[in-house]
Amino acid sequence: MSDIVSKLRLKEMAEEDIYFAKQDIELIEALHKKKLVRLAKCNGGEKRRAKDFEKRFKSLTEKNKRKPRKRLHAIRALLDEIQAACRRRR
């Protein structure tokens, strides 16, 4: 009987961990998107360039929908590229 109870507790703990991991990933993506918008504005207000970055962000998000770590690394690379473009403009 205690074996079933312990397995149910483990299952609940695993589901809780999965829930919070997904929530963390969503929050990290929201922060990246916020940073993307801020950095895109740094490019002298070039709306076309900012829209291009936004399209690439959406594309990366959709392409790696089932691979959260790969998605975050790809978004991080895009943000680094935007920062580099920002520094070149100054």
Distance CA 22, CA 17 (A): 9
Q: What is the CA radius of gyration of the chain?
A: 19
Write out residues in the chain with pLDDT < 50, as ranges. Answer: none
pLDDT of 23 = 92
pLDDT of 33 = 77
CA dihedral 33, 35, 39, 41 (to 10 degrees): 70
What tokens appear for 34 in the block? 């916020």
Q: Is the dihedral of CA 52, 53, 58, 59 positive or negative?
A: positive
Residue showing tokens 């690379």: 77
pLDDT of 90 = 54
